Amino acid sequence: MCASFHPKEDLVVSASLDQTVRVWDIGALRKKTVSPADDILRLTQMNTDLFGGVDAVVKYVLEGHDRGVNWASFHPTLPLIVSGADDRQVKLWRMNDTKAWEVDTLRGHMNNVSCVMFHAKQDIIVSNSEDKSIRIWDATKRTGIQTFRREHDRFWILAAHPEMNLLAAGHDSGMIVFKLERERPAFCVSGDTVFYLKDRFLRFFEYSTQKEVQVAPIRRPGSVSLNQSPRTLSYSPTENAVLICSDADGGSYELYIVPKDSAGRSDYLQEAKKGAGGSAVFVARNRFAVLEKSSNQVLVKNLKNEILKKSPLPIATDAIYYAGTGNLLCKGEDRVAIFDLQQRLVLGELQTPAIKYVVWSSDMESVALLSKHAVVIASKKLVHKCTLHETIRVKSGAWDENGVFIYTTLNHMKYCLPNGDSGIIKTLDVPIYITRVVGNNIFCLDRDGKNKLIAVDASEYIFKLALLRKRYDHVMSMIKNSQLCGQAVISYLQQKGFPEVALHFVKDEKTRFNLALESGNIQIAVASAKEIDDKDHWYKLGIEALRQGNVGIVEYAYQRTKNFERLAFLYLITGYLDKVGFMCKIAGQNNNLMGQFHNALYLGDAKKRVEILENAGQLPLAYVTAVTHGLTEIAERIASELGENVPSLPEGKSHSLLIPPAPLTACGDWPLLRVVRGIFEGGLDATGRADLEEDDEAAGADWGDEDLDIVDVSEVVANGGDGVDVEEGEPNEEDGEEGGWDLEDLELPPETETPKAVGNARSALFVAPTPGIPVSQIWTQRSSLAGEQAAAGNFDTAMRLLSRQLGIKNFVPLKPLFIDLHMGSHTYMCAFAAAPVISVAVEKGWNESASPNVRGPPALVFSFSQMEDRLKAAYKATTEGKFPEALRQFLSILHTIPVIVVDSRREVDEVKELIEIVREYVLGLRMELKRKELRDDVTRQQELAAYFTNCKLQRVHMRLVLASAMALCFKQKNYATAAHFARMLLENSPQEAQAKKARQVLQACQDKDDSHQLNYDFRNPFVVCGATYVPIYRGQKDVSCPYCGSRFVPSIEGQLCTICELGAVGADASGLLCSPTQSR
38 has a pLDDT exceeding 80: no
505 has a pLDDT exceeding 90: no
Q: For the chain, percent helix, then strand, then coil, each to nearest 5?
A: 30, 25, 45
> How many secondary structure helices (H) and strands (E) does the chain include?
27, 50
When pLDDT is averaged across residues 928-955 and rounded to a whole number, the result is 90
Q: How far apart are CA 895 and CA 870, in angstroms?
A: 12
| Burial tier of 676 (Cβ tally within 10 Å: 0-12, 13-18, 19+) | middle
Residues of the chain with CATH 2.130.10.10: 2-178
- Beta carbons of 216 and 269 less than 8 angstroms apart: yes
pLDDT digits (tens, 9 = 90+) for 952-979: 999 999 999 999 999 999 998 888 899 9
Residues of the chain with CATH 2.120.10.30: 355-457
Q: End-to-end alpha-carbon separation of the chain, Å?
A: 95
pLDDT digits (tens, 9 = 90+) for 322-354: 999 999 999 998 899 999 998 889 999 999 989
pLDDT digits (tens, 9 = 90+) for 79-120: 999 999 999 999 999 999 888 999 999 999 999 999 999 988
The answer to whether domain 2-178 has CATH 1.10.260.40 is no
Q: How far apart are CA 709 and CA 725, in angstroms?
A: 35
637 — pLDDT class (breaks 50, 70, 90):
confident
- Which residue would you say has higher pLDDT here, 510 or 353? 353
- Beta carbons of 1001 and 710 less than 8 angstroms apart: yes
* β pairing state of 826-829 and 838-841: antiparallel
CATH classification number, 355-457, choose in 3.20.20.70, 1.10.10.10, 3.40.640.10, 2.120.10.30: 2.120.10.30
When pLDDT is averaged across residues 34-49 and rounded to a whole number, the result is 54
- Beta carbons of 1044 and 876 less than 8 angstroms apart: no
Q: What percent of the chain is predicted at pLDDT more than 70? A: 84
What 513-517 contacts at long range (C-beta under 8 Å, 24+ apart), as own/partner pairs, is 513/537, 513/540, 513/541, 515/490, 517/541, 517/544
936 — pLDDT class (breaks 50, 70, 90):
confident
Q: What is the DSSP letter of 920?
A: H
Predicted model pTM: 0.53
- Which residue would you say has higher pLDDT here, 963 or 474? 963
158 — pLDDT class (breaks 50, 70, 90):
very high
pLDDT at 677: 56
pLDDT at 633: 86
**Mean pLDDT estimate for the chain:** 82
Fold of the 472-645 domain: 1.25.40
Strand order in the sheet with 100-107: 69-74, 80-85, 89-95, 100-107
402 has a pLDDT exceeding 70: yes
Q: Which of 324-328, 458-462, 468-472 has the lowest mean pLDDT?
A: 468-472
Q: How far apart are CA 435 and CA 222, in angstroms?
A: 30
- Compute CA distances 749 → 85, 165, 846, 964, whole Å: 94, 77, 16, 63
Residues of the chain with CATH 1.25.40.470: 472-645
Q: What is the largest distance, in Å, between two alpha-carbon atoms of the chain?
A: 156
pLDDT at 329: 93
**Rg for the chain (alpha carbons), in Å?**
46
